[in-house]
Amino acid sequence: MTWRMLRGKWVFLVGPVVLLGVWEVLSRTGILRPTFFPPPTEIISRSSIVLEAGQGIADDIGITVLRVLITIGLAVVVGVAVGIAVTASRWTERGTSTVLAFIYPIPGVLFFPFLAFLLGRNEAAVLLTALVTPLVVMVLYTIAGVRSIDPLILEVARNYGSRGARFFLRVIVPGALPSIVTGIRISLGFSLIAVIAIEMVGAQNGLGRFLWSNWQILRVTDMYVALLCIAVLGLLSSLGFDALADKLLPWRAEVRRRS
């Protein structure tokens, strides 16, 4: 079974392997300047700095992961609550959707100067800046999920006496769950992007800060190690979320297998 799974997925490795091989050859032959494009083998060998706690990148990875977890946690809790609350009225929904449509195209990192002015250049300003885009995404997907529920289901639930908190927990939340799960997956990616971006300009530590600091002093190999770590975190977060969602929502795994 394991061999069949690997055999079916090996094709996804061909592109990256070929790209890295071409990069290695071009860098070794001098066609690409090794100063700015060091060979992938050097980058991989330099990845040992990940294990150098205190002096390397291990502490920065831990800080970035913690920030991402806090950001996505707040985005999910607040976003789902706000998204469900505003659907109670067409007026609040339209007003909220208009505000979110105005905010959504603005890169979240641009909110940092305003938050730093209000809160100071501290961790709270970093986290709130990173929260902006994932929170908007969660609210929009929650609203879309609630509005996708068949009105007949809502009417039947009300006819059977479902009201208040029970109505929201037993009818609204389960009905909107597919859209909410999709929103969480997308928000997770945005959370990582937002945290890295704000670390580059507003934090004193983290992977984004490590990357930017090494670029400024032209320690390019270490910069690529940071990029590699960010890519691995993105991959692991995506695979980890899919695995968790498939466990909690068995129907989702079945749909994915059929597609």
- Per-chain mean pLDDT for the chain: 84
Look at residue 97 and tell me if it is in a domain: yes
The answer as to whether 235 is a domain residue is no
The predicted pLDDT at position 253 comes to 57
| 12 in a structural domain | no
| Per-residue pLDDT reduced to its tens digit, 119-150 | 888 899 999 999 999 999 999 999 998 888 88
Asked if 186 and 141 touch (Cβ cutoff 8 Å), the reply is yes
Residue 248 resides in a domain? no
247 within some domain? no
CB distance 68 to 131 below 8 Å: no
Q: Supply the pTM of this predicted model.
A: 0.84
In a domain, 26, yes or no: no
Q: What is the pLDDT of residue 251?
A: 66
Question: What is the structure's pLDDT at 158?
Answer: 76
Rg (CA), the chain: 22
Query: Is residue 231 a part of any domain in this protein?
Result: no
Q: Tell me, what CATH number does 131's domain have?
A: 1.10.3720.10
How do the residues of the chain divide into helix, strand and coil, expressed in percent and rounded to 5?
A: 85, 0, 15
Give the model's pLDDT for residue 10. Answer: 58
Parts of the chain with a pLDDT under 50:
1-3, 5-6
Q: Is 99 helix (H, G, I), strand (E, B) or coil?
A: helix
Range of the domain at 100: 64-205
Q: Are 134 and 187 in contact (CB under 8 A)?
A: yes
Query: Is 190 inside any structural domain?
Result: yes
- For the stretch 49-57, contacts whose Cβ atoms lie closer than 8 Å and that sit 24 or more positions apart, written own/partner, are 49/222, 49/225, 50/225, 50/229, 57/207, 57/210, 57/222, 57/225, 57/226, 57/229
Number of domains the chain contains: 1
For residues 77 and 132, give the distance between their C-alpha atoms in angstroms, rounded to a whole number.
Answer: 14
What is the 3-class SS of 142-171, one letter each residue?
HHHHHHCCCHHHHHHHHHCCCCHHHHHHHH
Q: Of 217, 191, 205, nearest to 132 (Cα)?
A: 191
Q: Which helix (H) or strand (E) holds 73?
A: helix 58-86
User: What is the per-residue pLDDT for 127?
Assistant: 94
